[in-house]
Amino acid sequence: MSNPDELLRIEGVRKAFPGVVALDGVDFDLRGGEVHVLLGENGAGKSTLIKMLSGAHRPDGGRIFVRGREVRINGAQDAERLGIATIYQEFNLVPDLTVAENIFLGRQPRRFGLIDRRRMEADAEVLLRRVGLHVSPRARIRELGIARLQMVEIAKALSLDARVLIMDEPTAVLTSEEVDKLFRIVRQLRADGVGVVFITHHLEEIAALGDRVTVLRDGRSIDQVPASTPEAELVQLMVGRSIDQQYPRERPGTGDPLLSVRGLTRDGVFHDVDFDVRAGEVVGLAGLVGAGRTEVARAVFGADPYDRGTVEVLGERLAGHDVTAAMDAGIGLVPEDRKGQGLVLDASVQENLGLVTLRSASRSGLVDLKGQRAAAARIAEQLGVRMAGLGQHVRTLSGGNQQKVVIGKWLLADTRVLILDEPTRGIDVGAKVEIYQLINELTASGHAVLMISSDLPEVLGMSDRVLVMSQGRIAGELPAHVATQDAVMALAVGTPPTTTTTTTKTATAEPAANEEESPRGH
């Protein structure tokens, strides 16, 4: 007999794709007025499960019940009719339409056969107030930031009168303040009787928001535990082993500067940026969102122009705005947007791994395909890429495995200086530790890493030195032994801490442009 509070129940659901069993007998249930966390490594089956509930995939076996009645979800309209709404990591919004038009897209109220814009905007206003978003219903979606887009998606779900709300990594790109606001809204939805399926890789969020946790591993539901379960136990359930050190930084000692940046300036974006990265060293680049970290990295790599300053590798000055010159000198960049900038999604694993070395592997215009395949196989095995084979499309890999492919192409090129921009965003704890071990292997072999991250514990745990940017400038430098979250934040908002071991530039001792935006202090 089903629980009267039960909104959703899944029994023994199975789903297979060519060469991969994505779900293998998964059980899950959701009650009204609870937040049920779905936890697992990348590739554990979470995405397949929620796509099944949203109508994007059909199960090969098993049963789905909504309010005690067995149902078949054959498409998005079925899910909508059953009161199930899903908010994906990649928002399903139309940039050139207004907020109101996006909320009621395909369901616009009509009067005399025409869209009743006044009623649509009034109804949108009510929904926006409910989620605490103070923005005009007439505003264009393209004018809004990530946090506001998240709220529009929630308002859209509420417009469907959804009783089951699935949220896939909703905090991945939000600042700490934005996360707090989102949590307040989720708690209110819970109080209103909505059942929330919450997917996150940030373990500290589970106890703060969740009621129960279902852990998936290798397509199976391993266990269901209270949200108060210690993080170490959750990790062991996820990965099937204990992880003794979350940030296993090995410091082999540093050598001569591999990368030297002097006076780098792009007017209006970043100014007078100086730093070195030495052989065997990880240098962290921290700061508020919009401080200029990514812009500096792209300029060093030659992807974007700069107005003044120099970039040198092993004492040799590089031409500005020349990616080929940077790559030839041994600089690699793993971009923040791995899907949009780091990968060719419809190409295979082998083709993506060979992108950087394609030119050097060609003779008389012909590519050494056999050599490329052997090299790709070697690096994929070294990185532990989980795949059906080298011919598998990168689009179908989990986020953690996609990131390994992005890093792998630079390892194949024997990159001297690897710039990592948000290297573990959206990646589970097991895959994170594997990437940290790769960083250790790189520095142990005499390479250098410049790591940009908004995850402060990650920066502090993996960096030998931390450079903090504020307002487009280097506000200060913190050696690992004195770097703390408070010290980083003080520099980031323009109030340098009083310590003799911190180097600061007084030109940056001014208020931050937007103190609401802060690095995630997980």
The token pair that represents 287 in the structure block: 């700061």
Region 366-385: what's the mean pLDDT? 81
Provide the pLDDT for residue 518: 46
Would the pLDDT of 239 be above 50?
A: yes
**More confident: 473 or 107:** 473
Model confidence pLDDT, tens digit, residues 416-473: 999 999 998 877 787 788 889 889 989 999 999 999 998 888 999 999 999 999 999 9
Model confidence pLDDT, tens digit, residues 123-166: 999 999 988 888 999 999 988 887 888 889 889 988 988 999 99
**More confident: 249 or 419:** 419
Calculate what percentage of the chain has a pLDDT beyond 70: 91
pLDDT band at 2 (very low <50, low <70, confident <90, very high): low
The token pair that represents 479 in the structure block: 């050696």
The token pair that represents 481 in the structure block: 């032994």
From residue 162, give the alpha-carbon distance in Å to each of 64, 86, 110, 145.
17, 9, 22, 24
Dihedral pair phi/psi, residue 295, rounded to 5°: -65, -40
Q: Which residues pair with 466 in a beta bridge?
A: 284, 478
| Dihedral (CA of 110, 115, 121, 122) sign | negative
Provide the pLDDT for residue 103: 94
Would the pLDDT of 496 be above 70?
A: no
Would the pLDDT of 348 be above 50?
A: yes
What is the rounded CA–CA span in Å between residue 463 and residue 466? 6
Cβ pair 276, 257 in contact under 8 A: yes
Average pLDDT of the chain, as a whole number: 87
Model confidence pLDDT, tens digit, residues 174-185: 777 788 888 999
Provide the pLDDT for residue 363: 55
What is the rounded CA–CA span in Å between residue 506 and residue 29? 56
Would the pLDDT of 89 be above 80?
A: no
Cβ pair 186, 209 in contact under 8 A: yes
